[in-house]
Structure 1
Amino acid sequence: MMRTVLFRDRDDAGAQLAARLASMHFADPVVLALPRGGIPVARHIADALRAPLDLLLVRKIGVPGQSELAAAAIVDGEHPDLVLNREVISLVGLTEDQIDDLAQPELWEIERRRHAYLQNRAPVSVEGRTAIVVDDGIATGTTMRAALTALRRRNPARLVLAVPVAPAETVAALEPLVDDLICLAVPEVFYALSPFYQEFHQLSDAEVTRLMSEVDRGERHSP
């Protein structure tokens, strides 16, 4: 299949998304990036909107022995949220105590990553603000669904999802969870995110830490 490149890299995708969002004049925005790939995209949006940038750390809680089957997810924030997949929990017969036990190591990993990436900077509150959730693209949307569900509980004035690319069925599934969904490209054929980028390397923890340090120092970026 012919390679369909839409974006030079994540910075290019971020600049294009930032231009679209800047024209929408959101009130009191805060930008929330899903690490790792969402950070290079989100920093351009935060620059354009002159908004704070925070990370939204999400960890899947897999079923014992079937780690890819998500029973729940834990979502970082002022008060971390547990988002349950009740269909899976009922199917495999997990109890509330078992879910809590499975969630604990994922919560520790979230705390480790927040310390590593942000040196324990406190999460930014979204209550009463426009919360703009950003990633470098979406495939199935399982992690994003948990993130949006948790954020809605935190009472933002408006909840916005902004991504460069996603398949049509995922966009349709996530639209009811947000007030605005901005997706620059909804390709007819979608197997993975990487074909839509000319350069799409996996970011390391060190790169994430460096990018967030630059944001904290107020350094601005151009694609």
Structure 2
Amino acid sequence: MADLPRFRNRAQAGKQLAGALAAEVRGCDAIVLALPRGGVPVGFAVAMTLGLALDILIVRKLGLPAQPEFAIGAVGSGGVRVLQPGVPGLMGVTQDEVEAIAARELAEIGRRARLYRGERPEPDLAGRTVLLVDDGIATGSTMLAAVEVARRRRAARVLVAAPVAPPATLASLRAHADGVACLLAPPRFFAVGQWYERFDQTSDEEVQDLLAMAWRSRATGQIETQPNREERT
């Protein structure tokens, strides 16, 4: 671990990730879909660097009732649900508990969609190359749900991109996505945040600001840069 570099912040990680994706999207009708919240600063940097449209795809982790940080699956819009092997049953989790957690997280997806998008319609993904971007991937449950949502919305190609993820998770994602781009694949992986010098929680307000900047950039044709808070930290 000591020999591997860390990212300064999400903005820097996104710019580096864009370099790894440039060849994949050249000549394509591509769009960046960031996973809120932490994936949005990374996705913003990718989109602005590559001159692509930015939008969001909201999926939510299903956490173990007694240990919410431990993912037992994920849900996404359109009835998408991904469960870890053995769920229900794993660590005593019942079907009723899975349903209750899923209902709560689907409600949160709806809240965030209203907050972030307002009246703006979801982008049409049919026939397009979709780049699903997050700030890091741990178990892969939420990203697998995102891949399934993009498939159901008839994306032509679905690429997964993140600055860091463990090797086993990347292997699983390669079996479901059309391509995977990842800058670091440390064998000793404990949490996404350990690979960043600065890993503050991304706020709803930051997500809204970055989306507004990206959408304004597409409308005016002028590329905007990351807000100073990300650039200077």
Q: Does 1:214 align with 2:218?
A: no
Q: Which residue pairs with 1:14 in the alignment? A: 14
User: Would you say the 8 A contact 2:73–2:141 is kept in 1?
Assistant: no
User: Would you say the 8 A contact 1:72–1:82 is kept in 2?
Assistant: no
Relative to structure 1, the CA distance from residue 104 to residue 40 in structure 2 (aligned partners, 3 Å threshold; closer, same or farther) is: same
Measure the CA separation in 2 of the matches of 1:119 and 1:21. 30
Q: Does 1:132 align with 2:126?
A: no
User: Would you say the 8 A contact 1:3–1:195 is kept in 2?
Assistant: no
User: Would you say the 8 A contact 1:148–1:178 is kept in 2?
Assistant: yes
TM-score normalised according to structure 2 size: 0.80
Residue 83 of structure 1 is aligned with which of 81, 84, 101? 81
Measure the CA separation in 2 of the matches of 1:63 and 1:198. 28
Q: Which residue pairs with 2:52 in the alignment? A: 51
Q: Which residue pairs with 1:154 in the alignment? A: 153
Relative to structure 1, the CA distance from residue 3 to residue 113 in structure 2 (aligned partners, 3 Å threshold; closer, same or farther) is: farther
Show CA shifts across 1:62-90 (max 9, x none).
577776676653313xxx23214274147
User: Would you say the 8 A contact 1:114–1:120 is kept in 2?
Assistant: no
What are structure 1's unaligned runs of at least 5 residues?
Answer: none
Show CA shifts across 1:45-77 (max 9, x none).
21233322111111234577776676653313x
Q: Which residue pairs with 1:174 in the alignment? A: 173
Which amino acid in structure 1 is aligned with residue 17 of structure 2? L
Measure the CA separation in 2 of the matches of 1:84 and 1:93. 16
Calculate the aligned-residue CA RMSD, in Å: 2.7
Secondary structure of the 2:158 match is strand
Which amino acid in structure 1 is aligned with residue 76 of structure 2? V
Q: CA deviation at 1:205?
A: 1.4
- Greater displacement, 45-54 / 121-130: 45-54
Measure the CA separation in 2 of the matches of 1:20 and 1:70. 28
- Greater displacement, 175-184 / 201-210: 201-210
Matches for 1:190-209 after TM superposition, within 5 Å: 190-209=189-208
Which amino acid in structure 2 is aligned with residue 220 of structure 1? E
- Greater displacement, 61-70 / 136-145: 61-70
Measure the CA separation in 2 of the matches of 1:69 and 1:192. 11
Which amino acid in structure 2 is aligned with residue 55 of structure 1? I
Measure the CA separation in 1 of the matches of 2:3 and 2:21. 27
